[in-house]
Amino acid sequence: MASGNDSTLSLLQGTLDLLILQALAWGQMHGYGISRLIRERTNEVLLVEDAALYQALHRLERKGCIEAEWGVSDNNRRAKYYSLTTAGRRVLRREADEFRRYVGAIFAVLDPA
Amino acid sequence: MNIGRVFRRLIELPTRSRHRIDRDLDDEVAFHLEMRVRDLTRLGVPEADARRQATKEFGDADRFKRVVGREDRSAERDRRLTRWMRDFSYDVRFAIRQVTRSPLFATIAILTVAIGIGANTAIMSAVRGIILRPLPFESPETLIRIYSRSDRLGPTAVSVPDFIDLRAQTVSFVGIAAWYATTTNLSGVGEPERLDIARVSDNWFDLLGVRPKKGRTFVAGEDVFGTPVRAVLSEALWQRRFGADPNIIGRSLRLDGAPVEVIGVVANTGTFPAGTELWTTTRFSPDDLVSSSRGARWLRVLSRLKPGVSLAQANEDVARVARLVEQRDPGHNRGYTAFAVTLQEAIVGDYRRPLFILLGAVALVMLVVCANVAGLMVARTAARDTEIAVRSAIGAGRGRIVRQLVTESVVLALAGGALGLALGVVGTWLLVHWAPPEIPRLDDVGIDRVVFAFSLGLALVTGIAFGLAPALQASRHDVRTRLQTDGRGMAGRSGSVRLRRLLVVSELAVAIVLLVGAGLLLRSFANLQRVDPGFKPAGLTAFTVTLPETRYPKDEDQGRFMERALAALKALPGVEHAAASFGLPLTDTRFQLSFTIDRKASTDPSFEPRGQVRVASADYFQSMGIPLVKGRTFGTQDRWGAPSVIVVSQELARRFFPNGDAIGHYIETGWGRDGHKLGGEVVGIVGDVKQFGLSIDAPPAYYAAAEQWPTDEITFALRGNSESIQLASIRAIIRDIDAELPIFDFTNGESLVRASLAQPRFYLLVIAAFAAAALLLAVIGVYGIIAYTVRQRTREIGVRMALGASAGKILRMVVGEGVALAAVGLGIGVSVALAVTGEIRSLLFQVNERDWVTLVAVAGVLVVAAVSACLVPARAAARLGPQEALRGD
């Protein structure tokens, strides 16, 4: 699926999904919450275009990794809250492991011990 | 009741509509931007800058909404479909479980549907094969038949000179061909046989687009006078008579005793005109082409429209040419024009109305079937009130329940439809085999893909139709009431009983319409059977031979053959009288000539004496059993060379002679042979004979003496014990005289009458079968509702009996209810019947379509049927003891 985001530090395919799933692993959250969380945790190094983030959210929802319900936010607005499904949790675990191995392998070459 | 909502649920339209998906996306994006702006302003960014930054960070929001909206919608659809399929397969499995749990209900419902679908399939296959299916020729819709039309006599065939003018002067057609059906004696291979053949112009096969399977068809110039006779065979004849001989091309056949070369074989789809097995060419003689032949209209004309030319334009075109010919030759063509109809119309036009009447009747049967099964479904659904209430209490939506119930009825209907198709195959076979042979295109009748789809579609629609009403009704009531009353709530019940009564009354009404139709046809058939044909069918045997011109060129030759044959036939044991004739009664022999009386031309052109000409030998009237009214019949003195004598029918005498006094007058036609014209002195008057059919008035007719007017086609009529007159012995006699002559149309008097009754009998049988089926179903409906209300009212009946009502009174009360239903049904049915029976007027004979005898009889049948249907439950109710009844329920 084409991501609209290639102007910044481009994310590897699937990385955004991983970030979203991890963010939701900490609890139910709306799209803006996820966006802010990624922004803060990465010290704004990874600039994710919000459109791409939401597109990924909808894709993950359709795949059944996350589910959504409409609720009311703390400022009393209608907001869509996402949470991780069991299937999504499984995907997160698998993808995170794979990513760690991948990064480890890259570092093994870049920084030989 | 919100139909829209039920419907939406029923087919599971989106829980999230397209509009809703878009709104959700809008809200989500708006919320995000608003939150981002809020956070940024909290950090001290001015609001305008914050908004700009938030929008920039978000990226292309419109594109996002478009792309994701599309993807979400498609996912939503997939999800809905999956859910629907899941529900559906669940429903079907549940339905099958439910249906098999009550086998009696299922059996009755399936059989009822099967009867309806079977009957509809059979009739639809006939309508499709005969009327709807295109003729098996290239672009059949552009094939046109051209007729002449006389102001006085209506449509007629075309004369040879008129055909040649039409071919030369019309501009609407790709080509014009001519044909006429005739017969020939095929000999030389096995038993001699008479074949139905067509003589056609050389362009015949090209015009129809029929290509030869073997050899060739006719080429230009092959229909010219003097060219050798060549024959094209049908595939069927080639296989039947010649064992599919691969070397058939070039083989020589004997047709009417003369050698004819076979040039080709065509597939059976080319079997037009009906029954044709062999084709030769017209080869018009110079006599046919002279202008005096314009009066002889016997040729059939076929043409094909040029692309883009309409039938109306073609009609103008042929009428224009006919007008030119009329102006040029008013002597022969005054009052004659020409017109064109599609070939399909020409072949099947007469049968459209009867077939559509059958189709209407079978549609009525289907209505009764639907009402009956709907009644069954209502009863069954009412009995499942509690189950339905529980289901809706634990969260089944109304749509879901309706869908479940409709699925059940569709499962039943499809099972019935499958069985019905099997019945339809049988029904179609019966229809084709019972149908009178004069109905065209019976070979094309069968269950094809269209009929198959029609029947299954009908079953499906039926299932939905009869399932939907009870399902809506059942799901309407409020859950709590029903659960509280444990399904005994009268609120729910009375509604379903009302609906069932309504259904039963409609069934009765429709059954009455069919019964009235069947009754009228029956009365009409009885009238036909009472018709005196004018001859005595019992003890009459007849057969025909034709004498080929090649071996019987002269009248004397034909006369000699006749005499020898008659002498031998008279000697046959069991034969009392033997006679030779031309043209048997009750067949379609039409040979009409006008004549002058005492050689004076008629002064009044509208009063032109004319009549059917028949030829009869001395013993003919005794053989046929036609009574002599006055004067004498032919005798041995009326032989070749003696003064010509004529015997006329009573109708002819009455119509053309003052006081019917024809004897002694001289009548003469314009038609003759060897210089002398057919005619003679009238010596006798005989009874009228139905020449064309029992329902058609006896036409004026006159008879010439066979010994004075020998014919090349001779029908022998034998009177005597028809059991002892065998085809084999007759064949032996004829073979002794001429081994190459085939015998055909071997028949007897009863068969002649039966064949003439075949069509009315066929329509009567089909409609009566439909009426019987409808009545049976309606009676089952009456029984169902009465039995049900008796069960419901057991307690009430008990109270009544406790209060002193006699068993007889209870019986009368229950039967009265059935009679009331019958009365309402009768009232509606009779009014509908009176409004629609005019449609079958064309099938009736001497019966008014508002025949009160029929109406009274039908009313009687209906009341008796309804009362019998009530008797079983009424008896059961009357037998109940009061205590039993009060304890019951």
pLDDT band (50, 70, 90) for residue A1: very low
Q: Does B15 touch chain A (CB under 8 A)?
A: no
In whole numbers, what is the pLDDT of chain A averaged over residues? 83
In whole angstroms, give the CA distance from residue B414 to residue B410: 6
User: Which residue of chain B comes nearest to A73, CA vs CA?
Assistant: B31
Q: Which residue has the higher pLDDT, B480 or A87?
A: A87
The whole-number average pLDDT for the span A11-20 is: 79
- Residue of B32, B40, B53 best to disrupt the A interface, most CBs of A under 10 A: B32
Q: Write the residue in B35, B39, B68 that is nearest to A54 by C-beta.
A: B68
Judge: B24–A73 Cβ closer than 8 Å, yes or no. Answer: no
Look at residue B840 and give its three-state secondary structure: helix
What pLDDT, on a 0 to 100 scale, did the predictor assign at position B478? 57
Pick from A101, A50, A62: nearest CA to B79: A62
Q: Which residues of A touch B21 (CB under 8 A)?
A: none
Q: Which residue has the higher pLDDT, B621 or A13?
A: B621
Q: Residues B374, B470: contact at Cβ < 8 Å?
A: yes
Token code pair at residue B820: 């009331």
Judge: A54–B35 Cβ closer than 8 Å, yes or no. Answer: no
Judge: B34–A50 Cβ closer than 8 Å, yes or no. Answer: no
In whole angstroms, give the CA distance from residue B457 to residue B148: 44
pLDDT band (50, 70, 90) for residue B885: low
pLDDT tens digits, one per residue of B832-843: 888 888 888 888
pLDDT at position B483 over 60? no
- Which residues have a Cβ under 8 Å from the Cβ of A63 and sit 6 or more positions away? none
Judge: A75–B60 Cβ closer than 8 Å, yes or no. Answer: no
pLDDT at position B489 over 70? no
Enter the pTM of the model: 0.71
Judge: B36–A32 Cβ closer than 8 Å, yes or no. Answer: yes
What pLDDT, on a 0 to 100 scale, did the predictor assign at position B481? 57
What pLDDT, on a 0 to 100 scale, did the predictor assign at position B177? 92
In whole angstroms, give the CA distance from residue B95 to residue A90: 39
The whole-number average pLDDT for the span B169-177 is: 90
Three-state helix/strand/coil letters over B120-175: HHHHHHHHHHHHHCCCCCCCHHHEEEEEEEECCCEEECEEHHHHHHHHHHCCCEEE
In whole angstroms, give the CA distance from residue A47 to residue A49: 6
Q: Which residues of B touch A75 (CB under 8 A)?
A: 35, 38
Residue with structure tokens 């760690």? A100
Q: Which residues of A touch B69 (CB under 8 A)?
A: none
Buried b (16+ CB within 10 A) or exposed e, A81-104: bbebbeebeebbeebeeeeeeeee
Return the amino acid letter for B252.
S
CA distances from B376 to B112, B459, B509, B597, B775 (A): 11, 16, 18, 74, 16
Task: Kindly give the interhelix angle for B749-792 and B807-836, rounded to the nearest 10 degrees.
Answer: 130
pLDDT band (50, 70, 90) for residue B12: very low
In whole numbers, what is the pLDDT of chain B averaged over residues? 83
DSSP string spanning A72-108? E-TTS-EEEEEEE-HHHHHHHHHHHHHHHHHHHHHHH
What pLDDT, on a 0 to 100 scale, did the predictor assign at position B4? 46
Q: Which residue has the higher pLDDT, B27 or B792?
A: B27
What pLDDT, on a 0 to 100 scale, did the predictor assign at position B675? 67
For the ranges A17-26, B49-58, B511-520, B847-856, the lowest mean pLDDT is seen at B847-856
The residues of A whose Cβ lies within 8 A of any Cβ of B are: 4-5, 30-32, 35-36, 47, 49-52, 54-55, 58-59, 62, 70, 73, 75, 77-80
DSSP string spanning B73-90? HHHHHHHHHHHHHHHHHH
pLDDT at position B688 over 90? yes
What pLDDT, on a 0 to 100 scale, did the predictor assign at position B685? 94
CATH class held by domain A15-110? mainly alpha
Q: Write the residue in B28, B39, B75 that is nearest to A54 by C-beta.
A: B28
The whole-number average pLDDT for the span B241-265 is: 87
Look at residue B118 and give its three-state secondary structure: helix
Q: Which residues of B touch A51 (CB under 8 A)?
A: 58-61, 63-64
pLDDT at position A73 over 60? yes
The whole-number average pLDDT for the span B498-506 is: 83
Q: Which residues of B touch A30 (CB under 8 A)?
A: 31
ipTM for this model: 0.87
Look at residue B176 and give its three-state secondary structure: strand
Token code pair at residue A15: 């990385």
Q: Does B61 touch chain A (CB under 8 A)?
A: yes
User: Which residue of chain A comes nearest to B35, CA vs CA?
Assistant: A32
Q: Which residues of B touch A49 (CB under 8 A)?
A: 57-59
CA distances from B516 to B370, B507, B849 (A): 21, 14, 9
User: Which residue of chain B comes nearest to A63, CA vs CA?
Assistant: B75
pLDDT at position B498 over 90? no
Q: Does B27 touch chain A (CB under 8 A)?
A: yes
pLDDT at position B667 over 80? yes
Give the gap in angstroms from C-alpha B37 to the nearest C-alpha of chain A.
11
For the ranges B367-371, B474-478, B800-804, the lowest mean pLDDT is seen at B474-478
Name the burial class of residue B221, with classes exposed (0-12), middle (13-18) and buried (19+) by CB atoms within 10 angstroms of its CB: exposed
* Cα end-to-end distance, chain B, whole Å: 32
pLDDT band (50, 70, 90) for residue B621: very high
Pick from B688, B874, B858, B661: nearest CA to B775: B858
Residue with structure tokens 């003679």? B680
In a 13 Å sphere around the CA of B431, the CA atoms on its Cβ side amount to 32
What pLDDT, on a 0 to 100 scale, did the predictor assign at position B258? 83
pLDDT tens digits, one per residue of A29-72: 999 999 988 888 887 777 778 898 999 999 999 888 998 888 88
Q: Does B26 touch chain A (CB under 8 A)?
A: no
- Residue of A5, A32, A44 best to disrupt the B interface, most CBs of B under 10 A: A32
Q: Does B81 touch chain A (CB under 8 A)?
A: no
Q: How many CB pairs under 8 A join A and B?
A: 61
Task: Kindly give the interhelix angle for A86-110 and A15-25, rounded to the nearest 10 degrees.
Answer: 120
What pLDDT, on a 0 to 100 scale, did the predictor assign at position A32? 92
What pLDDT, on a 0 to 100 scale, did the predictor assign at position B11? 44
* Cα end-to-end distance, chain A, whole Å: 37
Give the gap in angstroms from C-alpha B80 to the nearest C-alpha of chain A.
13
pLDDT band (50, 70, 90) for residue B304: very high
Buried b (16+ CB within 10 A) or exposed e, B353-376: ebbebbbbbbbbbbbbbbbbbbbb
Spacing of C-alpha B182 from chain mean position:
27
Give the E-state strand segments of B273-364 in sequence order. Answer: 278-281, 297-305, 336-342
Task: Kindly give the interhelix angle for B398-434 and B61-101, rounded to the nearest 10 degrees.
Answer: 60
What pLDDT, on a 0 to 100 scale, did the predictor assign at position B604? 63
Give the E-state strand segments of B590-673 in sequence order. Answer: 592-597, 610-616, 628-631, 645-649, 666-673
Cis peptide bond N-terminal to B573, omega within 30: no
pLDDT tens digits, one per residue of B387-425: 777 777 776 777 777 888 888 888 888 888 899 889 988
Q: Which residues of B touch A47 (CB under 8 A)?
A: 57
Token code pair at residue A39: 């922004």
In a 13 Å sphere around the CA of A16, the CA atoms on its Cβ side amount to 27
What pLDDT, on a 0 to 100 scale, did the predictor assign at position B506? 87
pLDDT band (50, 70, 90) for residue B479: low
CA-only gyration radius of chain B, Å: 38
pLDDT at position B475 over 70? no
Q: Are strands B173-187 and B230-234 parallel, antiparallel or unpaired?
A: unpaired
In whole angstroms, give the CA distance from residue A23 to residue A48: 14
- Residue of B28, B34, B37, B51 best to disrupt the A interface, most CBs of A under 10 A: B28
Domain residue extents for chain B: 3-101, 153-334, 351-530+756-887, 552-737
pLDDT tens digits, one per residue of B57-100: 888 889 999 998 898 888 888 878 887 788 778 888 887 887 78
Pick from B825, B837, B828, B827: nearest CA to B777: B825
Q: Write the residue in A5, A47, A77 that is nearest to B31 by C-beta.
A: A77
Give percent above pLDDT 70 in chain B. 93
- Which residues have a Cβ under 8 Å from the Cβ of A30 and sit 6 or more positions away? A73, A79, A80, A81, A82, B31
Token code pair at residue B336: 């004659």
pLDDT at position B183 over 50? yes
What pLDDT, on a 0 to 100 scale, did the predictor assign at position A21? 92
What pLDDT, on a 0 to 100 scale, did the predictor assign at position B486? 47
pLDDT tens digits, one per residue of B714-754: 899 999 887 778 888 888 888 888 887 888 888 888 888 88
What pLDDT, on a 0 to 100 scale, did the predictor assign at position B419? 92
Q: Which residues of A touch B67 (CB under 8 A)?
A: 55
Name the H helices within B210-342.
235-242, 286-289, 311-328, 330-333
Q: Which residues of B touch A58 (CB under 8 A)?
A: 68, 71-72
